[in-house]
Chains A and B, each alone.
Chain A
């Protein structure tokens, strides 16, 4: 299947750890990326190749992969982490995004 499935929303208290999952058959064969999007802004890459963090992304963001599921973990969530998060992967010819997860930090 070329679909990626995410929970529509998750919430976390400041300072706590939150995990956002993304599931899809393509993830067993292809790397995933995670993007953060705040209201009115363009998406920002926070994780690529399943678990690599780009320069400038805080260490509290991490990624992992197991079979057909990838997970974005925010350890010690901050108020500024409140945003929509999208997973991404690709089939042989197509690009595919998950439906997005709204993270509330309160």
Chain B
């Protein structure tokens, strides 16, 4: 069965950095778009970034552009999110989600990892 397990969340000060990881199993990782989606406490879902199966197409929400970098390692079936210059408003649960081979629209989601940005 499809399994997505995020890790790397934690408490960081404003201006700091954090790297999130997502370990995938139960499907052919290299065939699928992958994305990061976040949810601030008590708020709705917000798309952060997606990456195509080969890594050839990448896009970011305006709120994180220039600060966050998405990447993937198909040999390790892993997705990453490097987050720099973190702000208080980046505090959220970050979900890793699987897309299809053609579009990033998510179907399966991980359980999420909490990132707290606070001084």
Interface size on B, residues (CB 8 A): 20
- Chain A residues within 8 Å of B112, by CB: 42
A76 interface residue per 8 A CB criterion: no
Answer whether residue A61 sits at the interface, using C-beta atoms and an 8 A cutoff: no
Q: Quick check: is B55 within 8 A (CB to CB) of the other chain?
A: no
Report B32 CB to chain A, min CB distance, Å: 14
> Contacts A42-B110, A43-B45: A95 and B105 contacting too (C-beta < 8 A)?
yes
**Do most interface residues of chain B lie in helix, strand or loop, or is the interface mixed?**
loop
Q: How far is the CB of A94 from chain B (nearest CB, A)?
A: 7
**Are A97 and B107 also in contact (CB < 8 A) when A42-B95, A42-B112 are?**
no
Bin chain A's interface residue count.
20 to 34
Q: Which of B91-105 contact A (CB under 8 A)?
A: 95, 103-105
Docked complex Cα distance between A41 and B39 (Å): 12
The stretch among A9-17, A20-28, A64-72, A85-93 that forms the contact with chain B is A85-93
Nearest B residue to A99 via CB reads: B44
Residue of A nearest to B57 (CB): A93
CB atoms of B95 and A96 under 8 A apart: no
B107 near A42 with CB under 8 A, answer: no
B20-48 interface code vs A (CB 8 A; 1 in, 0 out): 00000000000000010100000011110
Chain B residues lying within 8 Å of A93, measured Cβ to Cβ, are: 59
Instruction: Tell yes or no: A100 within 8 A of B by CB.
Output: yes
Q: Is A7 an interface residue (CB 8 A)?
A: no
Other A-B pairs beyond A31-B105, A35-B45, A93-B59, 15, CB < 8 Å: A33-B106, A42-B109, A42-B110, A42-B112, A43-B45, A43-B95, A43-B109, A44-B109, A45-B108, A84-B44, A88-B45, A90-B103, A90-B104, A94-B61, A96-B47
Interface residues of B (CB under 8 A from A): 35, 37, 44-47, 50, 59, 61, 95, 103-112
